[in-house]
Amino acid sequence: MTNAMDYELPEEMIMLRDMARKFAADRIGPNAREWDRTGQISPEVIKELGELGFLGVLAPEELGGAGIGYLGMSVIIEELARQCGGTALMVAAHNGLCCGHLLVGANDAQKKKYLPPLAKGEMLGSWCLSEPNSGSDAAALKTTAVLDGDSWVINGSKIFITNGAQAGVFIVHARTDPEASKAKGISSFIVERDTPGLEVGPKEDKMGMRASSTVPLTFDDMRVPRENLCGELNKGFYDVMRVLERGRISIGTLSVGLARGAFEESVRYATEREQFGKPLAKMQAIQFKLADMAMQIDAARLLVRKSATLQDAGKSSNLESAMGKLYASEMATRVCLDAIQIHGGYGYMKDIPVERLMRDAKLCEIGEGSSEIQRLVIARQLLDLPK
Ligand SMILES: Cc1cc2nc3c(=O)[nH]c(=O)nc-3n(C[C@H](O)[C@H](O)[C@H](O)COP(=O)(O)OP(=O)(O)OC[C@H]3O[C@@H](n4cnc5c(N)ncnc54)[C@H](O)[C@@H]3O)c2cc1C
């Protein structure tokens, strides 16, 4: 299928897309069913993703990254998601959240220390905001960080942390001023995996995105060097908002990739499967479904790439990122459900990829701000309401 806006992609982005498409088809697609079953992406493929530069898409070249920006990231993640949502989520959280936060908040010394190994894929990164009692209301987080001599002592817990099972570095958000109003007393910290007091819990047994790891974390008098404060003291939540504004581009493009996978599988199946003496694709009811799927996928891609292009031009994309993420994620669930319908009973079976794509797609309506929160973000900006 010709993708809308691909005609506007610069030549180097088309080459990047083709490289990502081939890698994903050769190395990810054939393993996706198995990784979904075992909950584990093969370490060799993670290494290869690093060698291709896919784990350093946002980091500048002088820090070991590919420096290809948000449009480049959106092109790559769509191709990975087309084959395996869990792999795409791992790459999205690593680049968009962990590396993204370092790029927004870290000082030069921190960037030089942490970005090169992350960008080369020598280690994965996690970003830790959600807690048992604060999800959508993230600024209500309860984890505390108290300065004691040359270290911050962090106590509390996090849940649902992507890449947590393998990550070498965690960006942890904690309350540093208990007196300040919710969002004003939060700071961010860089935490290395072997830090005493950090306990990584067991992997969650999830509905979808199963290839990516999701874990709870506990901090028990975890001592982090004073210099690992990332960004300004008590201003961490503003960095969190900037990171999410950009991170939502990756969830939007991931949704587009999942939906495209479901659509392409449906076209193939509808062409091959015959009922009443003709292929399903000759039936108008199926043709209309396919037409609607293709239209929605292209519309979502246009919205998501608009926010990526704004970010790459150094402009704010808060409204556009929320619109892209909201539209693309809800579209992906609809398209995947239609794909299952087109596959009939076979679509309900685990051996057929659309079943997995549908389970993966549902997460995109929840993670990095649920659909309801995106609607609030959009409405606040349209109506100029206080945040
Ligand atoms: C697979 C997976 C991976 C994740 N990865 C990470 C990660 O790497 N790092 C991280 O920090 N977090 C991560 N999360 C957490 C994710 O960001 C949260 O689940 C999400 O923000 C929603 O929070 P919650 O689950 O606590 O739901 P809640 O906030 O409890 O919301 C429950 C429901 O109420 C709705 N709701 C809440 N407030 C409002 C409101 N004001 N108006 C209308 N409706 C509202 C929500 O939209 C939702 O439908 C992950 C979650 C999952 C499932």
Query: Which of ligand 1's atoms lies nearest the C-alpha of 97?
Result: 8
Residue 203 CA to residue 127 CA, distance in Å, equals 16
Query: Could you tell me the pTM of the whole model?
Result: 0.97
Ligand 1 geometric centre to CA of 111 (Å):
29
pLDDT of residue 8: 73
The one-letter code for the residue type at 186 is I
Domains of the chain: 6-124 (1.10.540.10), 126-235 (2.40.110.10), 237-383 (1.20.140.10)
pLDDT of residue 95: 98
pLDDT of residue 3: 58
Q: Which of 366, 374, 385 to mutate to test the pocket of ligand 1 (most atoms within 8 A of CB)?
A: 366
**Could you say which residues of the chain have pLDDT below 50?**
none
Pocket of ligand 1 contains residue 370 by CB under 6 Å = yes
Residue 42 CA to residue 31 CA, distance in Å, equals 9
Decide if 368 is catalytic: yes
Pocket of ligand 1 contains residue 127 by CB under 6 Å = yes
Which residue, judged by its Cα, is nearest atom 26 of ligand 1?
A: 135
348-370: pLDDT as tens digits: 999 999 999 999 999 999 999 99
DSSP 95: I
Which residue, judged by its Cα, is nearest atom 44 of ligand 1?
A: 372
Which residue, judged by its Cα, is nearest atom 38 of ligand 1?
A: 136
pLDDT of residue 6: 63
Cβ contact 142:156 at 8 Å: yes
Ligand 1 geometric centre to CA of 136 (Å):
5
131, 265, 365, 368: the active-site residue: 368
Residue 163 CA to residue 169 CA, distance in Å, equals 10
Query: Which of ligand 1's atoms lies nearest the C-alpha of 206?
Result: 1
Q: Which of 160, 360, 377 to mutate to test the pocket of ligand 1 (most atoms within 8 A of CB)?
A: 160
pLDDT of residue 23: 98
Ligand 1 geometric centre to CA of 63 (Å):
33
pLDDT of residue 181: 87
Pocket of ligand 1 contains residue 372 by CB under 6 Å = yes
Q: Which residue has the tokens 């992507």?
A: 162
Q: What is the largest CA-CA distance in the chain?
A: 79
